[in-house]
Chains A and B, each alone.
Chain A
Amino acid sequence: MRRQSLTRWLFWPGLLLIALSASAQSPELPAGIIKHDPYPAPPLALRDLDGEPYALKNQRGAPVFVHFWASWCGPCREEMPAIQRMWDTLEEEGLKIALVNTAEDEDTVFSFLAAHAPTIRPLMDRDGQVTEGWEPRGLPATYLVDAQGQVQYQAIGGRPWDEPAYLDFLRSLIKAP
């Protein structure tokens, strides 16, 4: 009898501890975010709009928000202002961003971003081949790459990145070891 009540006494706190540790390891996913079995991020080495070289492999040590877009894509246009607001909030907290334009020219990208995301420096995938290498489901496409260069999550379509659920989720990635 005494052994039974001791087992009960240990069981529930134990279960609670397990649940808490599980939730600490895998943050609750906001709508439209899918978890991958981690895999190494495909190559991403491009020049930005000013001609400066950029390589994703040099960004190790912080999570990177990798986003592929084009100005002709309706959902991309809708999503971009939310990305800018998210970036305004999380840049200083340690998130990095790679905003990759797919196969458009400088004038198009410059005039679009001036109106929708003026402080994000875009990367130019001029012939679209880097985008192809990531095999997105469509445009827009967002991948979340961890500090070790592994793709951990993918967003399905455009997402309201500036909403609290998404900001909290991205913060959990920044804080992840």
Chain B
Amino acid sequence: MLLCCPALTPMVLMILRMNSLPAAGRSGILLLLLLWPLSAMTEEPAYESAELEVNLTPRTPQQIAAFYEGRGFSEPMIAILREQCFITVFIHNKSDDIIWLDLADWEFADSDGPLRRRDRADWKARWQKRDIPLAHQSTFRWTLLPEKLDFLPGERKGGNITLPRHNQPFTLHARFDTGEARDGDPIEITLEELQCADNP
């Protein structure tokens, strides 16, 4: 823990020196400190307000391969999908107004700069180039988050987005327009410390 969480090191040393605490109390606090970063790391990135809920769940290559193998996708297709960073996004419009999802307004970036999301048109061109059966192209498309959608009041929907697989943490900055004519106050969210999920 001292290696993985340097910020906690002074706190741990201080607790170890707290002779006034019984040994059981000290080990209890240490256990809590050990578990805290674990729970923080496994918590899924999310945004929630009175109007909007957005959850992001990174998927491991194994999860993705198992899902699409179960739909009969070919091995070459699965090999391509394993190379991607899949994130399942869930969106819930909790407001009484229309909230616009427009993935053109979503920016992913890591410390090296912007990350280019692979959109539906990219995937379509890729599958067509490889003569992938239309049924599998269709299924894949339906598992992606729509590029653009007017979320009606109460509407909830999920789907995947794909990014280049990489190891660095990254950030999402997203803007959602509101109102039927997209002229309401926009909702801006930032989710930090996102990670592609690796196989266990």
In the assembled complex, A126 has its CB within 8 A of some CB on chain B: yes
Stretch of B1-9, B153-161, B167-175 with 4 or more beta carbons under 8 angstroms from chain A = B153-161
6 smallest A-B Cβ distances: which pairs?
Answer: A128-B138, A127-B134, A103-B138, A103-B135, A103-B139, A127-B135
**Minimum Cβ distance to chain B for residue A69 (Å):** 10
Contact A156 B139 (CB under 8 A): no
Task: Tell me the residues in window 127-177 of chain A with beta carbons closer than 8 Å to chain B beta carbons.
Answer: 127-129, 131-132, 137-139, 156-157
Contact A126 B135 (CB under 8 A): yes
Given contacts A103-B139, A131-B138, contact A157 B157 (CB under 8 A): yes
Task: Tell me the residues in window 72-112 of chain A with beta carbons closer than 8 Å to chain B beta carbons.
Answer: 72-73, 102-105
Neighbouring B residues of A31 by C-beta, 8 Å: 154
In the assembled complex, A34 has its CB within 8 A of some CB on chain B: yes
Contact B157 A72 (CB under 8 A): no
In the assembled complex, B71 has its CB within 8 A of some CB on chain A: yes
**Minimum Cβ distance to chain B for residue A24 (Å):** 26
Closest to A127 in B: B134
Task: Tell me the residues in window 70-124 of chain B with beta carbons closer than 8 Å to chain A beta carbons.
Answer: 70-72
Given contacts A72-B70, A102-B142, A138-B146, contact A129 B156 (CB under 8 A): no
A residues neighboring B (CB under 8 Å):
31-32, 34, 70, 72-73, 102-105, 126-129, 131-132, 137-139, 156-157
Given contacts A72-B67, A127-B133, contact A102 B138 (CB under 8 A): yes
Contact A138 B154 (CB under 8 A): no
Contact B72 A105 (CB under 8 A): yes
Task: Tell me the residues in window 121-139 of chain B with beta carbons closer than 8 Å to chain A beta carbons.
Answer: 133-139
Given contacts A102-B142, A137-B149, A138-B142, contact A157 B156 (CB under 8 A): yes
Contact A138 B138 (CB under 8 A): no
**Docked CA distance A156–B155 (Å):** 7
Neighbouring A residues of B137 by C-beta, 8 Å: 128
**Docked CA distance A132–B120 (Å):** 14
Contact A157 B139 (CB under 8 A): no
**Minimum Cβ distance to chain B for residue A74 (Å):** 8
In the assembled complex, B30 has its CB within 8 A of some CB on chain A: no
**Docked CA distance A156–B70 (Å):** 27
Can you list 20 contacts pairing A with B, beta carbon distance less than 8 Å? Answer: A31-B154, A70-B139, A72-B71, A73-B142, A102-B138, A102-B139, A102-B142, A103-B135, A126-B135, A127-B138, A128-B135, A128-B137, A128-B138, A137-B146, A137-B149, A138-B142, A138-B149, A139-B142, A156-B154, A156-B155
**Docked CA distance A22–B152 (Å):** 25
Closest to B149 in A: A137
**Minimum Cβ distance to chain A for residue B38 (Å):** 28
**Docked CA distance A34–B134 (Å):** 31
Neighbouring B residues of A104 by C-beta, 8 Å: 71, 135, 139
